[in-house]
Amino acid sequence: MTRVIHTGDTHIGYRQYHSSDRQADFLAAFESVVGDAIELDVDAVVHAGDLFHDTRPSLHDVMETIRILRTLRAAEIPFLAIVGNHEGTRDRQWLDLFADLELAIHLNDAGTRIDEVMFYGLDYLPPARRDRLEFELEPSEAAYAVLVAHGLFEPFAHAEWDTDAFLDRLSVDLDALLLGDNHTPGRAEVGDTWVTYCGSTERASATEREARGYNLITFGEEVRIGRRTIADTRRFVYIDCELQRSQGLDTIREEITANEIADAVVIISIVGEGEPVQPAAIEQTALDRGALAVRVTDERELPDDERPRAEFADPDRAVEARVRSLGLSEAGHLVDAVVRDLDVADANVRSRVRSRVETLLAEQPSAFSPGEPVDETTDAAEPADETTDAAEPVDETTDAAEPADERTESGAPEPRKPTDGHQRSIGEF
């Protein structure tokens, strides 16, 4: 029998609400998971990406993560992990540093065997690179094959991956797909493969109301996926105020007073037909009662002339306009095009730029002569120089993209009993 903790989306270093206390909370949640792993004496901790919140965590957070991983190594529990979208860099990964320190194993297509389970790993892939994915898993004689990946898979909410098609492309039949990226836990069966999210270990969004935790998975005569809650995460207090016609700030203050909010993050939503209220006054009331952070959302309909207006510009065109204004050489424009080309894999950017520059130095030295900057603030009535590839007008009334991190619904169907292959069952979830 093999038991592992499946965790992910720890987002160490996230200074949520600009609070150093919240930054410490994310680190503490990860340490709690590791403490549970040691207490439960599991065979491995499997991390499904986004160990860190961004590509440049503070030195303090890196050193503390190393300290925590050392306690796991001292307990002889391997830490198996992949790279998520928040922490991925063009060059070496923080996970590679931990692997060099023998504190972690960076899972890949070769796999790492723990008892009778072979664990493979796939780092986060941006959409532009997914169609060209060639992921040949090395075959194994282990009883179970498991892939750890980071992304949004069907049948869960906000899915970007067709799970059936993805599994068909793999060279090994999987018994389980252990996922990160969706912060809401869930599980489903796709064909003969269990697909499960562990959820985040701290609330990275106010919409993540469920208790935070991780999966505890047992591989034996059957596969059991259980759910465990992390103790002592930061309290979030949700106060939903429905104001009647004559009600306003005093009613909301009464609701705040009726709740124990000391050291908690307080999320206040306002609906109904009551009087207009100032969010700042509400926030101050909660802070005066000891709240760590406060967020107020007034969800009531406002008259058209009172609604805040939001305008969105095309960021790609803004970058292009800025580049044209710099007066770069032909070589400079070539380097810019390679760096921003989504079809060039991150790991190949440096070598591609070096190759192009060396070719230009040998064959076309004039390409390094400065170009003429394009001033895009001049009178629009003047015709653009046809050699400058002037930007087209930006329509700022287009719809903005939906935010990527508001992933709060698992959307998972009820699990089905398998008809063949390994016997599988789901524990309490």
Nearest to 79 by CA among 39, 119, 40: 119
CATH superfamily of 2-233+406-424: Metallo-dependent phosphatases (3.60.21.10)
Which residue out of 47, 86, 150, 183 is catalytically annotated?
Answer: 86
Query: Which pLDDT belongs to residue 313?
Result: 52
Q: Please say whether the beta carbons of 249 and 275 come within 8 A.
A: yes
Return d(Cα 387, Cα 330) in angstroms, integer: 12
Predicted pLDDT of residue 389: 41
The strand ranges marked E within 108-143 are 112-114, 117-122
Q: CA–CA separation, 325 vs 343, rounded Å?
A: 25
> Taking the mean position of all CA atoms in its chain, how far away is CA 315?
21
**CB–CB of 79/41 below 8 Å?**
no
Based on its alpha-carbon atoms, the radius of gyration of the chain, rounded to whole angstroms, reads: 26
Q: In a structure prediction context, what are the per-residue pLDDT tens digits for the chain, which is 429 residues long?
A: 999 999 999 999 999 999 999 999 999 999 999 999 999 999 999 999 999 999 999 999 999 999 999 999 999 999 999 999 999 988 889 999 999 999 999 999 999 999 999 999 999 998 888 877 777 899 999 999 999 999 999 999 999 999 999 999 898 999 999 999 999 999 999 999 999 999 999 999 999 999 999 999 999 988 999 999 998 899 999 999 999 999 999 999 999 999 999 999 999 999 999 999 999 999 999 999 999 999 999 988 655 554 444 444 555 656 766 666 667 787 777 777 777 665 555 556 676 777 677 676 766 777 777 776 665 544 434 444 443 343 344 344 334 333 444 444 344 444 434 434 444 444 445
Nearest partner of 161 among 124, 110, 134, judged by Cα: 124
Q: Which residues pair with 186 in a beta bridge?
A: 197
Instruction: Give the contacts of 306 (CB within 8 A, at least 6 positions apart).
Output: none
Which pLDDT score, from 0 to 100, does residue 175 have?
95
In order of 25, 27, 53, 149, 330, the CA distances from 15 in angstroms are 9, 11, 9, 25, 41
Q: In a 10 Å sphere around its CB, with 0-12 CB exposed, 13-18 middle and 19+ buried, how is residue 26 labelled?
A: buried
Residue extents of the structural domains in the chain = 2-233+406-424, 236-291, 328-368
The answer to whether the beta carbons of residues 332 and 291 sit under 8 Å apart is no
Does the active-site annotation cover 183? no
pLDDT for res 370: 76
Question: Closest by alpha carbon to 310, among 397, 233, 226, 242?
Answer: 397
